[in-house]
């Protein structure tokens, strides 16, 4: 008996699990990096802040983090939805509710990602 | 002592209720919870529960004792009773057949799914398949499971997805056969567990480890399965 996983885009549980952990590390690194920069800058000005994000390395790092965030959020929300928005918990309407919820999540993440890219490239 | 027992007969009762019994506990020794249940049944023989071996071997009297899953026959009152009150409920998350008796079908189905028997495609040897003492030692802490379901019914992931998540008891046995040097179906076994539910619904909160009456550690076994899946995927 194989458990079907149609709704998670055919990814395996293993890759989900790995992505979740790798993306968490990326997010943590990003936070630590920025905290360190802010704490080590006596007076943060607009010009400094702008320069910081204009560099290619930072741009790639930010983009990677944005990707990690979206992947992390998607896997997390998919997992939450398949735990709580199930036929077992709420009857036959569950499949529709879950679908709507997940499409909503996808839409928010897509907007968030595109918006993020636009911001990064506008610097 | 006040003993409060979960009562439910799906055929006649609209909903479950708790019924209280005043039980005289004989002094001088530390009774087991199962002994107290016998005293309750003397008062009211409609109280229903399963038991067989009364020494922690058969796994039939798993229940929720003052909020914690355990085997009634090997749980001493001194360990669980506070304020002279004992509350007995069925194992959580499974359909109740009657009072403290639950329907374990889904639990056994998950056990069946991991194919809990040795599979070996090599020619059958004349006498027996040998195993080194070291390889045999790898099965310690795995084979002792008595399938009482205390762990799986204490696992939130099993409550939410009992049809898809194998649960700690089943996964402990899945690893028991993955770890067996005489089994040659490792790859098929792993392929059956790779989806996002069967193994990966485990969040490692160790609720299972906390209640296992045999002192086993399903979380550790699940960790080993994950490692094997990772090696296989790499
Ligand atoms: S692992 Fe422990 S708690 Fe779980 S079924 Fe086996 S003996 Fe019972
Ligand atoms: S460690 Fe995993 S299997 Fe054990 S109770 Fe937690 S989620 Fe369930
Ligand atoms: S009666 Fe057999 S384990 Fe308790």
CATH of the domain at B179: 1.10.1060.10
Report the separation in Å between the CA atom of A57 and the middle of ligand 3, taken as the mean of its atom positions. Answer: 64
Backbone angles phi, psi at B127, to 5 degrees: -110, -65
Last residue of a domain, one of B102, B125, B144: B102
A22 touches chain B (CB under 8 A): no
Among B160, B164, B230, the residue with its CB nearest the CB of A14 is B230
Domain count for chain B, please give it. 2
- To the nearest whole Å, the CA of A13 is away from the closest chain B CA by 3
Among B160, B195, B230, the residue with its CB nearest the CB of A86 is B160
The conformational region for residue B96 under phi > 0 = left, psi -120 to 50 = alpha, else beta, is beta
What ranges do the domains of chain A cover? Answer: 13-122
- CA atoms lying within 13 Å on the CB side of residue A22: 11
**Residues 6+ positions from A81 with CB-CB distance below 8 Å:** A98, A101, A102, A105
Residues B165 and B224 in one domain: yes
Residues shown for chain B: 234
User: Are the CB atoms for B129 and B100 separated by under 8 Å?
Assistant: no
Q: Is the dihedral of CA B65, B69, B70, B76 positive or negative?
A: negative
Q: What is residue A6's predicted lDDT score, i.e. its pLDDT?
A: 46
pTM of the model: 0.91
Residues of A in contact with B199 (CB under 8 A): 13
Last residue of a domain, one of B40, B75, B102: B102
Residues B139 and B207 in one domain: yes
Residues B6 and B56 in one domain: yes
- Please determine, looking at this structure, whether the domain spanning A13-122 carries the CATH number 1.20.1300.10: yes
Comparing CA positions, the residue from A66, A90, A67, A82 lying closest to residue A9 is A82
- Give the ligand 2 atom nearest the CA of B209: 4
- To the nearest whole Å, the CA of B78 is away from the closest chain A CA by 37
ipTM over 0.95: no
Last residue of a domain, one of B72, B102, B132: B102
Closest ligand (CA of B169): 1
Q: What angle do CA B102, B196, B162 make, to 5 degrees?
A: 5
- Give the ligand 3 atom nearest the CA of B148: 3
Residues B122 and B227 in one domain: yes
Residues B181 and B207 in one domain: yes
Chain position carrying tokens 């639950």: B102
Question: Is ligand 1 within 6 A of the CB of residue B166?
Answer: no
Pairing of strands B2-7, B17-22: antiparallel
Name the DSSP class of B76.
Answer: B
* Tens-digit pLDDT profile for residues B68-114: 999 999 999 999 998 999 999 999 999 999 999 999 999 999 999 99
Q: How far is CA B55 from CA B29, B102, B146, B217, in A?
A: 17, 20, 12, 21
Residues B31 and B110 in one domain: no
Residues B116 and B184 in one domain: yes
* Tens-digit pLDDT profile for residues B118-167: 999 999 999 999 999 999 999 999 999 999 999 999 999 999 999 999 99
What mean pLDDT, rounded, does chain B reach?
97
């Amino acid at each position: 008996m194989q458990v079907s996983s149609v709704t998670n885009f055919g990814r395996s549980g293993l890759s989900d699990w790995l992505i979740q952990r790798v993306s968490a590390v990326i997010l943590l690194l990003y936070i630590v990096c920025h905290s360190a920069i802010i704490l080590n800058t006596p007076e943060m000005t607009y010009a400094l802040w702008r320069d910081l994000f204009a560099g290619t390395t930072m741009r790639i790092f930010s983009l990677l983090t944005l990707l990690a965030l979206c992947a992390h959020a998607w896997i997390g929300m998919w997992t939450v939805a398949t735990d709580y928005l199930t036929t077992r918990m709420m009857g036959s309407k569950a499949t529709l509710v879950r679908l709507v919820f997940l499409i909503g999540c996808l839409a928010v993440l897509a907007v968030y990602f595109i918006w993020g890219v636009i911001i990064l490239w506008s610097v | 002592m006040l003993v409060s027992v979960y009562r439910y007969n799906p055929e006649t009762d609209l909903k479950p209720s708790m019924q209280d019994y005043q039980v005289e506990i004989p002094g001088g020794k530390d009774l087991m919870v199962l002994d107290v249940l016998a005293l309750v049944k003397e008062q009211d023989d409609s109280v229903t529960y399963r038991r067989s071996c009364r020494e922690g071997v058969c796994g039939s009297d798993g229940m929720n004792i003052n909020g914690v899953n355990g085997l009634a026959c090997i749980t001493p009152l001194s360990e669980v009773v506070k304020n002279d009150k004992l509350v007995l409920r069925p194992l959580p998350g499974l359909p109740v057949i009657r009072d403290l008796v639950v329907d374990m079908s889904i639990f056994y189905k998950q056990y069946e799914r991991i194919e809990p028997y040795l599979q070996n495609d090599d020619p059958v040897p004349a006498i027996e398949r040998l195993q080194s003492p070291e390889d045999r030692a790898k099965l310690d802490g795995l084979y002792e499971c008595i399938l009482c379901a205390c762990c799986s019914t204490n696992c939130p992931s099993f409550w939410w997805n009992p049809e898809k998540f194998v649960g700690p008891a089943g996964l402990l046995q899945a690893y028991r056969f993955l770890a067996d040097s005489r089994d040659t179906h490792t790859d098929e076994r792993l392929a059956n567990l790779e989806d996002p539910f069967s193994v990966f619904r485990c969040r490692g909160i160790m609720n299972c480890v906390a209640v296992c009456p045999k002192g086993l550690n399903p979380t550790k076994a699940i960790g080993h399965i994950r490692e094997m899946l990772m090696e296989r995927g790499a």
